[in-house]
Amino acid sequence: MIKDFLRKNTVVAKWLPLAITITMLCGGMYIVLQQYIRQSANLPQLQLAQDAAVKLGQGIGTENVVTGDKVDIAASLSPYMIVYNKSQQAIAATAELNSHTPELPSGVLDYVSKNHQDIFTWQPQEGVREAVVILSFSGKYPGYVLAGRSLNEAENQIDSIGHDILLLYLFTMGLTYFVYRYKFVANIN
């Protein structure tokens, strides 16, 4: 069926390899840009968590490390921190969700205790997506430090780039098809 269609439509048959190439290039471009934006969303938190882990490991108190106003993570783009003790209990936090310190999924801090760090997307409730870095720290009072911030703007950028790439894809597919068709028709005459 497809072979018959391509035999009858030589323009499509000649254009198809180019269409596949365009599709792969646009798809690859979207994946690379999406991953770049998402991974870049972790960088401020990585710095905050590393700096805090060093200070906490040196024995500097949480009151001198976890400073600033409370951040409603459902509404704010501001970065925040949560410090957990060795028993995995939150002991200091600038993050709030529904007027409480948000709780991590079980097993996250167990993973961090074995691997020293975890970097992931956290969704503590529907509509709240956060880029989070958690590091363990040692010292007199060992524990874990979490630094996070909203993914809202990063996801808006990804959506915008996806839209732009889709428009580029459709324009390029249409333009190349018409060039092949015009060239094919011109060759007949």
47 and 32 in a common domain = no
Paired tokens of 41: 């969303």
Select from 184, 180, 168 the least CA-distant residue to 26. 168
114-150: pLDDT as tens digits = 999 999 999 999 999 999 999 999 999 999 999 999 9
Q: What is the DSSP letter of 61?
A: -
Q: What is the pLDDT of residue 189?
A: 47
98 and 32 in a common domain = no
Q: What is the rounded distance in angstroms from the CA atom of residue 180 to the CA atom of residue 186? A: 10
46 and 32 in a common domain = no
Query: Could you state, in chain order, the average pLDDT of each consecutive group of 10 residues for the chain (189 residues)?
Result: 63 86 97 96 95 96 94 96 96 96 95 96 96 96 97 96 97 92 63
- Number of folded domains that form the chain: 2
160-174: pLDDT as tens digits = 999 999 999 999 999
Residue 106: helix, strand or coil by DSSP? coil
137 and 175 in a common domain = no
62 and 139 in a common domain = yes
75 and 37 in a common domain = no
Percent of the chain residues past pLDDT 70, beyond the cut: 92
Residue 161: helix, strand or coil by DSSP? helix
46 and 25 in a common domain = no
116 and 25 in a common domain = no
144 and 51 in a common domain = yes
CATH code, domain with 104: 3.30.450.20
Decide: pTM greater than 0.75: yes
Q: What is the rounded distance in angstroms from the CA atom of residue 133 to the CA atom of residue 137? A: 13
Q: Which domain holds residue 37?
A: 21-41+164-184
